[in-house]
Amino acid sequence: MTPCPNDAPATSSSSPTTSPTTTARQDVSDVLSGHGPRVQYSVFEVALSSKAATTRLRSALKKLIDPDEDQIRIYPLSVPDLNEITILGNRRLEERADFWIV
């Protein structure tokens, strides 16, 4: 699996008719989808090229959530673990022009 080369800073936007929780969820989704594909409604598959990129992403995500109300889980996987991924089914992943899966 090739890392996705996107370490873009997080951005935030809100609308007067959108609740803070919905806005935070959308902002988190926007940041994560810029780093990798959404594989389920609240699950993203993100491969980062370095520990520094991981630190930047964690920092950006922390700024977007309320730590008393929200939770983001990050499961680090080693290269041997990545080589053992099994995918069942043929559902297509969300596709974006700014990343690729090899």
CA–CA gap between residue 25 and residue 38 (Å, rounded)? 14
Sequence-distant (6+) residues with CB within 8 A of 20 are 14, 66
Range in 10-19, 40-49, 55-64 with the lowest mean pLDDT: 10-19
In which band, very low, low, confident or very high, does the pLDDT at 8 lie, cut at 50, 70 and 90?
A: very low
What's the whole-model pTM score? 0.66
Question: Residue 38's domain spans which residues?
Answer: 1-10+18-102
CATH number at residue 83: 3.30.70
In which band, very low, low, confident or very high, does the pLDDT at 31 lie, cut at 50, 70 and 90?
A: very high
CA–CA gap between residue 31 and residue 22 (Å, rounded)? 14
Q: How many domains does the chain have?
A: 1
